[in-house]
Amino acid sequence: MLQVWGRRSSFNVQKVMWLIGELGIAHQHIPAGGQFGAIDTPEFLAMNPHGRVPVIRDGDGTVVWESHSILRYLAARHGSARYWSDNPVHRAEIDSWMDWCQTSLQPAFLTGVFWGFYRTPEAKRDLAAIAKNVALCADFFQRLDQLLSRQPFIGGQFLSLADIPLGTHMYRYFNLDIVRPSIPHVEAWYELLQQRSAFREHVMVPFDELFGRLDY
């Protein structure tokens, strides 16, 4: 059976758990990282030399680490072409959004706003950097709003891997005490995501245990 290591409060673990839920893959979840530790043991480091979650081990012993690599593996091996298309053109569109999310949105929102604002104790916050990243996120989400004015999901008519990393940001983005622009189409897409039980179960996880805490 597929095994998944990671703590449920981890953003990167949530992406993987959400897709596993969408695909209905039988699995065993093993809490790891944060208060659960276990990521600096020789056994864990043999799977992921960087000692980070998420990590999966499939039933045949295949080990994969890095959340986006795991998403692609699971979609290719256990999913339908709907999640990560066999068509190179559509696949490239999905990959573009996934990579943009990891290299542009994630540093601005997860690092700049979620860590810089929510997870940093008030006295230590860099207010100018937070404001810059909040504005950058507003710009990103306004661009996304234009895309979503033309189609219901990031990759087109159906939920695909393009929605997973981006959608995992939204519960946190909409539940932080920050200024947000008017983004009605992003909100409509977020409504669609909230109708999915796997999203509610794995992504809409209260994160108040992380408030003002810079450690894992």
Ligand X SMILES: N[C@@H](CCC(=O)N[C@@H](CS)C(=O)NCC(=O)O)C(=O)O
| Of 184, 201, 188, nearest in space to 19 by CA | 201
Looking at the DSSP assignment, which residues form a beta bridge with residue 92? Answer: none
Residue (111 or 182) nearer to ligand X, CB? 111
Q: How far is the CB of 82 from ligand X (least distance, A)?
A: 23
Q: How far is the CB of 9 from ligand X (least distance, A)?
A: 8
Rounded CA-CA distance 187/144 in Å is 11
Residue (2 or 183) nearer to ligand X, CB? 2
The residue assigned the tokens 């980070």 is 52
Amino acid identity of residue 186, one-letter, is: V
Residue in the shown chain whose Cβ atom is closest to ligand X? 33
Contacts of 203 (CB under 8 A, 6+ apart): 14, 18, 167, 168, 170, 171, 193
Grouping H, G, I as helix, E, B as strand and the rest as coil, residue 28 is: strand
Q: Cβ(20)–Cβ(2) under 8 Å?
A: yes
End-to-end CA, the chain: 28
Q: How far is the CB of 95 from ligand X (least distance, A)?
A: 15
Q: Cβ(186)–Cβ(141) under 8 Å?
A: yes
Residue (31 or 152) nearer to ligand X, CB? 31
Q: How far is the CB of 105 from ligand X (least distance, A)?
A: 13
Residue (133 or 168) nearer to ligand X, CB? 168
Structural tokens at position 119: 């997870």
Residues that bind ligand X (CB under 6 A): 7, 10-12, 33-34, 39, 52-54, 66-67, 216
Q: How far is the CB of 183 from ligand X (least distance, A)?
A: 25
Q: Cβ(112)–Cβ(132) under 8 Å?
A: yes
Residue (12 or 160) nearer to ligand X, CB? 12
Residue (79 or 165) nearer to ligand X, CB? 165
Q: How far is the CB of 94 from ligand X (least distance, A)?
A: 17
